[in-house]
């Protein structure tokens, strides 16, 4: 008989302690400890056993003796998801996808299950019935390309029995918070249950080389629910973002052991499911009938993908005495820094003005290469003079007003040329190694912010 022991777990970070505490010493949150009964003893065995029934013994190896091999990737049938994963699925990888309720996580995973070519996929749902999943499948596809099997189950013991009988090649779990293991006596969704179920699925994935997708809920703060160790255990963490009032969704890579952690995938939510957006500029650039002040175009990079985004600024007289500073999709502190540069180096009196900034398309941009586009939009709104929609910008601005170089400038210029822009402003320091003759677009090089404004506004 196993010895039963109770412990207290922080519901925010998963910190374990033998007694109740008011404040968590790990994450400093108050009143987050909950008592959970854990069963420990010699009778506790892993839920998943390797097919041979024997444990794998590892031995240390010298670095030069280890054979390097190229990881084989399997296409998911979704170009955007393949890009975010780094080129496709790796055998034995565990991928965690988080996002708000109703954003489209289950739809994305069901599309994957139905569209991956030549694979036997098991879709495990602990939240919906088979009939509900069937209704969604009929809506998003007419002819499944994969052998897709649906299992409505929450017990990990039964799940592994079905996986073994079916010999699944891809496993999708919706969601990890609904599963429960018989070896843990706490309720499904608790810290200990989420951690144990994930550990069992991780062992299964690594020992059988089967890719596993886990859908995870998020908290009100936007973090994935459960202990933080959950994100450390898995190989890849993806965040599915977007506004339910808009049709566009963004799949962002937060952690990826098999690829870049800065990639971005864009989808459009339609009645027939999620449509891949191969050209993001179609949603990031608005179609205007007339030229308006306060709008400029900046060339940015998300991972390996160049994008042209629209920055919108509004400068008005502060009506309530204290000027307001508000930015959507951009760091407010960096915007305040750029405003200080404009006031100090260029003489624009913005200290008594309200300044509002918006990045069109609902995305968040951290690339400093859009600094120049933002400053040009602010002055365009301040002077009420429009900037031509055929001009774009790709440069960082320093505190002394100098125009700094940005990386991978050729990709940014090529994207601007492809989209029909006639002129692009870049830094003088980007000219080193740049062949201007191979571009048809006019490349304007500047070194100071004052030069930009004299060229734009005279």
Residue 368 is assigned to a ligand binding site: no
Tokens of 266: 């864009």
Q: Where are the beta strands (DSSP E) in 218-287?
A: 236-242, 248-256, 264-270, 273-276
Contacts of 437 (CB under 8 A, 6+ apart): none
Distance of alpha carbon 453 from alpha carbon 458, whole angstroms? 7
Distance of alpha carbon 142 from alpha carbon 72, whole angstroms? 30
Nearest to 172 by CA among 132, 210, 199: 210
* H or E element that contains 443: strand 442-446
Q: CB count, 10 Å around CB of 126?
A: 20
Residue 186 is assigned to a ligand binding site: no
Distance of alpha carbon 248 from alpha carbon 363, whole angstroms? 10
Residue 106 is assigned to a ligand binding site: yes
Q: CB count, 10 Å around CB of 166?
A: 15
Residue 398 is assigned to a ligand binding site: no
Distance of alpha carbon 448 from alpha carbon 455, whole angstroms? 11
Residue 188 is assigned to a ligand binding site: no
Distance of alpha carbon 21 from alpha carbon 454, whole angstroms? 63
φ, ψ (nearest 5 deg) of residue 339: -65, -40
- What is residue 337's three-state secondary structure? helix
Phi/psi-derived region of residue 11, left when phi > 0, alpha when psi is between -120 and 50, beta in every other case? alpha
Residue 104 is assigned to a ligand binding site: yes
Residue 102 is assigned to a ligand binding site: yes
Q: Where are the alpha helices (DSSP H) in 179-242?
A: 191-208, 229-233
Q: CB count, 10 Å around CB of 36?
A: 19
Residue 88 is assigned to a ligand binding site: no
Distance of alpha carbon 335 from alpha carbon 54, whole angstroms? 59
Binding-site annotation: residue ranges: 99-106
Binding-site annotation: residue ranges for ATP: 99-106
């Amino acid at each position: 008989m196993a010895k039963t022991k109770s412990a207290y777990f922080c519901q925010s970070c998963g910190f374990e302690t033998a007694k109740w505490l008011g404040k968590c010493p790990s994450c400093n949150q108050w009143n987050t400890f909950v008592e959970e009964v854990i069963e420990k003893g010699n009778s506790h065995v892993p839920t998943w056993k390797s097919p041979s029934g024997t444990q794998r013994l590892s031995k240390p190896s010298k670095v030069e003796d280890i054979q390097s091999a190229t990881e084989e990737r399997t296409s998911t049938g979704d170009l955007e998801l393949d890009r975010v994963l780094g080129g496709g699925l790796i055998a034995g990888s565990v991928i965690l996808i988080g996002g708000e309720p109703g954003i489209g996580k289950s739809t994305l995973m069901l599309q994957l299950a139905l569209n991956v070519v030549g694979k036997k996929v098991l879709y495990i749902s602990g939240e919906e019935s088979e009939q509900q999943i069937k209704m969604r499948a009929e809506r998003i596809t007419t002819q499944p390309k994969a052998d897709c099997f649906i299992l409505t189950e929450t017990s990990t013991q039964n799940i592994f029995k079905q996986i073994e009988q079916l010999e699944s090649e891809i496993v999708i779990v919706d969601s990890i918070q609904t599963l429960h293991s018989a070896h843990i006596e706490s309720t499904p969704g608790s810290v200990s249950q989420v951690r144990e179920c994930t550990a069992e699925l991780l062992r299964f994935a690594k020992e059988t080389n089967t890719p596993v997708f886990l859908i995870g809920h998020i908290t009100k703060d936007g973090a994935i629910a459960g202990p933080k160790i959950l994100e450390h255990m898995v190989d890849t963490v993806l965040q599915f973002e977007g506004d339910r009032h808009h049709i566009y969704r963004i799949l962002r890579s937060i952690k990826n052991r098999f690829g870049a952690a800065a990639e971005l995938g864009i989808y459009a939510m339609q009645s027939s499911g999620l449509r891949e957006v191969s050209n993001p500029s179609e949603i990031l650039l608005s179609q205007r009938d007339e030229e308006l002040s306060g709008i400029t175009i900046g060339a940015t990079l998300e991972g390996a993908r160049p994008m042209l985004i629209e920055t919108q600024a509004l400068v008005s007289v502060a009506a309530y005495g204290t000027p307001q500073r508000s930015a959507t999709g951009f760091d407010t502190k960096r915007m305040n820094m750029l405003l200080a540069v404009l006031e100090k180096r260029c003489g624009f009196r913005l200290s008594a003005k309200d300044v509002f900034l918006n990045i069109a398309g609902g995305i968040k941009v951290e690339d400093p290469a859009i600094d120049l586009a933002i400053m040009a939009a602010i002055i365009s709104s301040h002077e009420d003079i429009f900037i031509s929609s055929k001009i774009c910008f790709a440069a960082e601005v320093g505190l002394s007003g100098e125009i700094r170089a940005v990386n991978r400038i050729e990709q940014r210029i090529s994207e601007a040329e492809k989209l029909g822009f006639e002129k692009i402003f870049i830094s003088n320091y980007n000219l080193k190694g740049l062949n201007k003759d191979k571009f048809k677009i006019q490349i304007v090089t500047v070194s100071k912010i004052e030069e930009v404004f004299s060229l734009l506004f005279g």
